[in-house]
């Protein structure tokens, strides 16, 4: 039922976007978009997810899960496939925890929560920092700043005071207790996460420049984190609709036309779906092996 609701929300938002745009313009944008750039975006997105799987594996090892990188890679991409084409983000995360360590799903689940919370916190910090230092140049500065400030404070509070959060359920509290406190380890995974998110922002810059448009990379460092936070909310299928509305809100008409915003959303969705299919390939190869 939840999956159907997410699809309906996505369809409604896409209908809302398409009502404002000439569909033929989107078609022409996609048809004329550089195939090489599209391949680079898809491959770049895949490489970013490989890096993210590496960070997750480090987190899992840090909480005493005996995991090798290939095992984390396998579990991560299977979770992505289920997220994209099956049970949604929650189902995908539960699945990758089970695939990582079937004998100790509690620890594996904790590693997924830590990975998600840490990535979200770093993403918000990037946007918060760059929106603050360039606030005079950023449209919708207050919206961008407040969303990312709220996420940053929430993650920092959970991380810092995890052992004192007695008002939440015991299961979640137990997961929060696994949050790493070693500064050296936090710095290491934070640098990996920083590289991952900046690379994703670079991929957006690559798409925009392929339209023949110019946009300040500083603005992207402020706006894209906010957009990614909004699309990570479990209210739509793969962020479809939410992403396009956010692109239009932050980029149109200052940097891109509405049709170009919708086209960028379509290209990003293609990259997500193709990369998620790697997990489907892993399922298929396992079935052949069995």
- The whole-model pTM stands at 0.86
Tell me the two tokens of residue 144: 């961008």
Q: Does the residue 77 lie in any domain?
A: yes
Q: Does the residue 210 lie in any domain?
A: yes
Q: Does the residue 76 lie in any domain?
A: yes
Tell me which residue range forms the domain holding 278.
Answer: 2-18+38-289
| Contact (Cβ atoms closer than 8 angstroms) between residue 250 and residue 221 | no
Angle between helices 23-32 and 258-289 (to 10 degrees): 60
Q: In this structure, what DSSP letter does residue 21 have?
A: S
Surface-to-core class of residue 184, CB atoms within 10 Å of its CB (0-12 exposed, 13-18 middle, 19+ buried): exposed
Tens digit of pLDDT at every position of the chain (290 positions): 666 777 777 788 888 887 888 777 877 888 888 899 999 999 999 999 999 999 999 999 998 888 899 999 999 999 999 888 875 677 778 888 899 988 888 888 889 988 988 898 898 889 888 887 776 666 666 677 677 777 766 666 665 555 554 444 555 555 666 778 889 999 999 999 999 999 999 999 999 999 988 888 988 998 898 888 888 877 777 778 889 988 998 898 888 999 999 999 999 999 999 999 999 898 887 665 55
Domain count, the chain: 1
Q: Does the residue 31 lie in any domain?
A: no
DSSP-based three-state secondary structure for 212: coil
Q: Does the residue 78 lie in any domain?
A: yes
Q: Does the residue 30 lie in any domain?
A: no
Residue 274: which region, alpha, beta or left (left: phi > 0; alpha: psi -120 to 50)?
A: alpha
């Amino acid at each position: 039922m939840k999956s159907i609701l997410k699809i309906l929300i996505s369809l409604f938002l896409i209908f809302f976007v398409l009502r404002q745009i000439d569909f033929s313009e989107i078609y022409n944008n996609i048809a004329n978009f550089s195939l090489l750039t599209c391949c680079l975006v898809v491959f770049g997105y895949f490489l970013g997810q490989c890096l993210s799987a590496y960070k997750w594996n480090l987190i899992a090892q840090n909480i005493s899960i005996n995991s090798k990188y290939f095992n984390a890679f396998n579990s991560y991409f299977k979770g992505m496939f289920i997220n994209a084409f099956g049970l949604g983000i929650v189902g995908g995360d539960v699945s990758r925890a089970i695939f990582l360590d079937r004998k100790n799903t509690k620890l594996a689940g904790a590693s997924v929560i830590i990975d998600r919370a840490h990535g979200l916190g770093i993403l918000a910090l990037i946007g918060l920092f760059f929106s603050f230092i360039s606030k005079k140049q950023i449209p919708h500065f207050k919206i961008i700043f407040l969303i990312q400030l709220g996420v940053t404070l929430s993650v920092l509070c959970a991380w810092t005071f995890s052992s004192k959060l007695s008002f939440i359920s015991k299961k979640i509290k137990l997961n929060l207790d696994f949050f790493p406190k070693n500064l050296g380890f936090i710095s290491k995974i934070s640098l990996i996460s920083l590289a991952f998110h900046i690379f994703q922002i670079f991929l957006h810059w690559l798409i925009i420049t392929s339209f023949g448009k110019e946009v300040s990379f500083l603005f992207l460092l402020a706006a894209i984190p906010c957009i990614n936070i909004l699309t990570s909310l479990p209210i739509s299928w793969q962020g479809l609709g939410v992403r396009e509305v956010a692109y239009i809100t932050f980029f149109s008409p200052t940097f891109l036309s509405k049709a170009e915003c919708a086209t960028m959303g379509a290209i990003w969705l293609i990259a997500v779906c193709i990369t998620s299919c790697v997990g489907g390939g892993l399922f298929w190869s396992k079935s052949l092996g069995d």
